[in-house]
Amino acid sequence: MFKLTICLLAALLVAYVHADHIDKDATILSEKNDPADAEGNYANSFESSNGIQTQEAGNANGATGSYSYTSPEGELIEVTYVADENGFQPRGAHLPTPPPIPEAIIRALEYIAAHPPAQE
């Protein structure tokens, strides 16, 4: 029982230390919510005193928007996105990007496109 108590206290201490960067006194600076109209168009936005901002507009076919906040390391994180029939598509400088396609693969794809298989 004593070990369980020590482990629980250690876990709570770690959680407290990691949550220390959260601005508990943040206030809402602006908030706008335009609910969906008859055609399904809507928009909303939000800004708080700790630098969190978000905005989105959309309809039944999809949505576009952005959000930004400051990371615990002090870096400004900005994301823009589109959400449609192709899914959620975020863009941001902090997001990983795929490596470039090797030249040999590009040549192979071009060859395949130029020489389609014979029809039987």
Instruction: Give the structural domain span for 104.
Output: 25-114
Q: Note whether residue 81 is domain-resident.
A: yes
pLDDT tens digits, the chain, 120 residues: what are they? 556 556 555 665 555 555 555 677 889 999 999 988 988 899 999 999 999 999 999 998 999 999 999 988 889 999 999 999 999 999 999 988 889 999 999 999 999 999 988 887
Answer yes or no: are the C-beta atoms of 46 and 34 closer than 8 Å: no
Q: Could you tell me which of 50, 45, 43, 42 has the C-alpha nearest to residue 31?
A: 45
Within a domain: residue 3?
Answer: no
101 lies in some domain: yes
In a domain, 119, yes or no: no
In a domain, 5, yes or no: no
62 located within any domain: yes
Taking Cα atoms as reference points, which of 12, 58, 4 lies closest to residue 34? Answer: 58
Is the residue at 95 inside a domain? Answer: yes
Q: Does the predicted TM-score (pTM) go above 0.85?
A: no
Q: How many CB atoms lie within 10 A of CB 111?
A: 9
Number of domains, the chain: 1
Residue 17 lies in a domain: no
